[in-house]
Amino acid sequence: MPYRLLTSLAVRLNGQLYVFDAGEAVQLGLKKARLGIRGLDVVAVSHLHADHCLGLPGLMMLRAQLNDPDPLTILGPPGIARFVSQVQESLGFYCGYPVHFREWSEDQGEIAYQDQQARIYWQPLKHSCFCLGYRLEELQRPGKFSPDRARALKVPCGPLWGMLQKGEWIHLDSGEKISPEQVLGPPRRGRSVAYVVDTRPCKGIYQLCHDANIAFLEGMFLPEHNEHADAKGHLTVEDAARISRRAGAGRAILVHISPRYGQEDLPLLEAAARERFAQAELGRDLEIYPVPLPED
């Protein structure tokens, strides 16, 4: 729409960028949001409908302009590799970095991707074609450092504290060895976000949104247009709000609103969602949603 971009979610975590879906002109959104694409090494595509994958070539070409880009991993449904290779071959565009594909299949398991700080899970959804939902989960963080315990063990305040905090063993001048477990609390759960679009209600959504800090879900239709949602394989705002509340999500941000609704209809969609879940709201283009570290 002239006033609404296609749906895409970028998750920024310590300088890394994880992008979910790449509709047409996704690179403009990234630029407008000033996210840059250095640090973007993974793109996860939900399904092979144009509004979710046509932006891949532009994104890949923009990335090729970086100085010495890292390899790119593309996650997606069966056929995503063929789609990208065909476009690449037809347009003859140069990439300059390796592209690895990981296509979903029955025997691949629930983990689509993992790096040193996060893990991406995937689950098949229920749409008019094969569609995947995703969940990005930060890996467990080390437990909370206790200065009192460190002092009691006669560890001098300074670099040794830092090493223990990072989970390393240290040696004291006395020759005594101290393990990180002696000064750290239990490991802390990482933060998580879910990304679920283009689906009817199904079990996979609950798995992806379970206790997520933020669930980004499609809010394609108003409840009174449920017959369209059913026919086209989408959620209504009411479905999305209800499912995220039941799944225990902290917040639900509803995205991928049908083009049949103008900007003036958005408050209606939001109100219908809030009736089911007080922590639901409509997503706005380029909005930033911080996920604070838990207090523990």
Supply the minimum distance, in Å, between the C-beta of residue 197 and Zn ion. 6
Contact stretch for Zn ion (CB under 5 A) within 10-18, 185-193, 195-203, 275-283: 195-203
Distance of alpha carbon 112 from alpha carbon 271, whole angstroms = 35
Residue closer to Zn ion (CB basis): 41 or 198: 198
Q: Is 232 helix (H, G, I), strand (E, B) or coil?
A: helix
Supply the minimum distance, in Å, between the C-beta of residue 75 and Zn ion. 17
Contact stretch for Zn ion (CB under 5 A) within 21-29, 55-63, 113-121, 190-198: 190-198
Supply the minimum distance, in Å, between the C-beta of residue 296 and Zn ion. 37
Residue closer to Zn ion (CB basis): 46 or 192: 46
Burial string for 17-36 (b: 16+ CB within 10 Å, else e) reads bbbbbbbbbbbebbeebebe
Helices assigned H by DSSP within the chain: 26-32, 50-53, 56-64, 80-91, 147-152, 159-165, 203-209, 226-232, 237-246, 266-276
Do β-strands 214-218 and 192-196 pair in parallel, antiparallel, or remain unpaired? parallel
Supply the minimum distance, in Å, between the C-beta of residue 21 and Zn ion. 8
Would you count residue 198 as binding Zn ion (CB under 5 A)? yes
Phi first, then psi: what are they for 194, rounded to 5°? -115, 150
Residue closer to Zn ion (CB basis): 168 or 230: 230
Q: Of the residues 21, 41, 51, 239, which is catalytic?
A: 51
Supply the minimum distance, in Å, between the C-beta of residue 218 and Zn ion. 7
Contact stretch for Zn ion (CB under 5 A) within 144-152, 174-182, 183-191, 197-205: 197-205
Distance of alpha carbon 262 from alpha carbon 248, whole angstroms = 30
Q: What tokens were used for 201?
A: 């209600």
Residue closer to Zn ion (CB basis): 11 or 53: 53
The answer to whether 42 and 114 are in contact (CB under 8 A) is no
State the residue number with the nearest CB to Zn ion: 49
Distance of alpha carbon 225 from alpha carbon 48, whole angstroms = 24
Sheet strands (E) in 21-174: 40-44, 72-76, 99-103, 111-114, 118-124, 132-138, 170-171
Residue closer to Zn ion (CB basis): 41 or 51: 51
Identify whether 51 is a catalytic site residue.
yes
Q: Site size for Zn ion, by CB under 5 A?
A: 3
Contact stretch for Zn ion (CB under 5 A) within 21-29, 178-186, 192-200, 207-215: 192-200
Q: Interaction with Zn ion in 37-66: which residues (CB under 5 A)?
A: 49, 51
Binding site for Zn ion (CB under 5 A): 49, 51, 198
Active site residues: 51
